[in-house]
Structure 1
């Protein structure tokens, strides 16, 4: 990583579940005028931006074999510390090693010897608390859902700023109300912000339906068969799918060509729908703290998508697709335009006042706390 004395060094923790946390980092990173060191159990992307170092961490969720030959799972090693934490298994070498690696880098013993000025955590209660105990200010990326449990409250209290990547007023914010002074609602963060479905080469195909899966898993044992049955149940449509047997790094072209997109309620996917202005059927999947269910309810209230509480029965699909075709959603209410830059400005604000920063980072956009839009 090349370094600049005029810019701070920002640490960034990327959770390994699914692809959404890494995708969000990729959306925000181009707007952040700082050197960045990323910590994650995921492998580094092939298109790592300039002035960015990726530190691959040991996993802390794999079973271990002790000297006695007994295989032990970290879930049986008091990982919650009696409900104070979410995941800190006792005696797990991967857990100890990953925190040691983070500490060494933050202290300046790695990454060229520069101490970290601020840390973005997306997401981990344990990393948030650990970094704050090391004396570094933390920017926590929040998730939708019921986050009123004790570990989440502790992490939000410890954070210097909390980024909520959705518009103000869309979700139940009871978990964030108690730290309202530090919360910044930036809108839905999409790497597709600025792209236009009306650009040359983007032609919507009448009758086309695209299913877009995700890397975080689904509630269906045989999703391919479910999609195939839905296609057979809707004469006059042509279905295709991404995220089943086929994975593409950039689904924009396929999504832009589809008349209707069928997908889950993950944050990045919803933000991409908003950037596209898509007509969509959204089926929330089971996630911790009802994350996707909370997002789907917000979309339903705003009339932005057809929301099905579970995968529709075969004979329900014709009516579901017709409802989606009839939508005229005003996706501007999701506040995707400029959201990644607003998130970067929050990080720059905190990093620029770090004890090791030589000069302030350039925050080129204002942060908006009043992005209520149609939800107020």
Structure 2
């Protein structure tokens, strides 16, 4: 018996949705944890969201699958089948994007295609005889399109703890890998140093309102009500915010918009009120703070289902919307402070999710393709 040399590794493909930040952050964490011998080709409509990539990674820009360019010929009279979500007919950009991916399948013979996220590209991979890994997000994804992507997947990557799993995922739990905190650094600054960096008064409590980048953010008026209800607190909002002409804002409320030091703000806070995007949730869980979650609108009720899962796990208080009165704010904040369970939050974290995910992907690929050929010899 003799072992033939291992052939050059088949590449991994990776589709990265460019809405929000979580998809790109997960991609960066995974490709940096993969072996440098593993080639990776990343497809994204906005490569700027990806940041620097290691030398074994090639980035291919593709047209957006949902943004108009003016060249579309709308054919809205054609019904969209239940197996598809965003597949309008007559869009040249979609044809070009799918053509480039399918062409790469044919030319590079990939080992895996990681889809974060697109049920259509997941199904395209399966149709082209390429095993795919579907990234799973919360929400009501019981429709035929999502189920086809999950049923046809070689593996399903869930970038959060198994403690946040939905009951309806039971049919495919056997091929899921949970990666709590994937894409988010778990390191937070020292609390006192963070407070000093933000110029907070010693002993004064700070409430942080945090919304992500995938939508339009919270509206301003309820935050003015909150700040007036807690005049001895400092209130700070970061992320997107919708203005209200009727909003009144006191001196203890500061809207900062986008900031580069989110971790500093989280570390300095005494209470967090946030939406439930994946990156936001991982950051707050790492801080172990009293937490109120208010889901923003997302397709398939993604943030709503994530908020419900967090509440069920004892990690956060879920509110359907920001409180609309001072007494409602006082009740919500008092409950968040009283019911805070840092241990429950800690159980939803993992020590090195990127390394574990990279190992899972390599093991999955090896199980599908093998890495070494063993031949019988005579003489």
Q: What TM-score results when the alignment is normalised by the length of structure 1?
A: 0.81
Residue aligning to 1:368:
none
Distance in 2 between residues matched to 1:49 and 1:285, nearest whole Å: 31
What does 1:1-376 correspond to in 2, within 5 Å?
7-33=9-35, 34-45=38-49, 47-50=51-54, 51-63=56-68, 65=70, 72-73=73-74, 76=76, 78=78, 80=80, 82-108=81-107, 114-174=108-168, 176-193=169-186, 195-198=187-190, 201-203=193-195, 206-218=204-216, 220=218, 223-244=219-240, 246-315=257-326, 316-326=328-338, 327-330=340-343, 331-353=345-367, 355=369
Instruction: List alignment gaps of at least 5 residues for structure 2.
Output: 1-5, 241-255, 374-379
Secondary structure of 1:130's aligned partner: helix
Shift of 1:359: 6.7
By relative contact order (CA 8 Å, sep 6+), the higher-ranking structure is 1
Larger radius of gyration: 2
8 Å CA contact 1:79, 1:85 repeated in 2: no
Residue aligning to 1:365:
none
Shift of 1:61: 2.3
Instruction: List alignment gaps of at least 5 residues for structure 1.
Output: 109-113, 361-376
8 Å CA contact 2:188, 2:263 repeated in 1: no
Larger CA deviation: 128-137 vs 224-233: 224-233
8 Å CA contact 1:262, 1:282 repeated in 2: yes
Shift of 1:121: 0.4
Shift of 1:293: 1.3
8 Å CA contact 1:79, 1:89 repeated in 2: no
Closer/same/farther in 2, CA of residues 276 and 107 from structure 1, 3 Å limit: farther
Deviation per residue, 1:312-360 (Å, 9 max, x gap): 11312233233333424222211332223222222222334565x8679
Secondary structure of 1:334's aligned partner: coil
Distance in 2 between residues matched to 1:10 and 1:79, nearest whole Å: 34
8 Å CA contact 2:132, 2:155 repeated in 1: yes
Alignment: residue pair count: 341
Q: What TM-score results when the alignment is normalised by the length of structure 2?
A: 0.81
Secondary structure of 2:342's aligned partner: coil
Shift of 1:170: 2.8
Distance in 2 between residues matched to 1:32 and 1:314, nearest whole Å: 50
Distance in 2 between residues matched to 1:58 and 1:260, nearest whole Å: 41
Shift of 1:18: 1.8
Shift of 1:203: 4.6
RMSD: 2.8
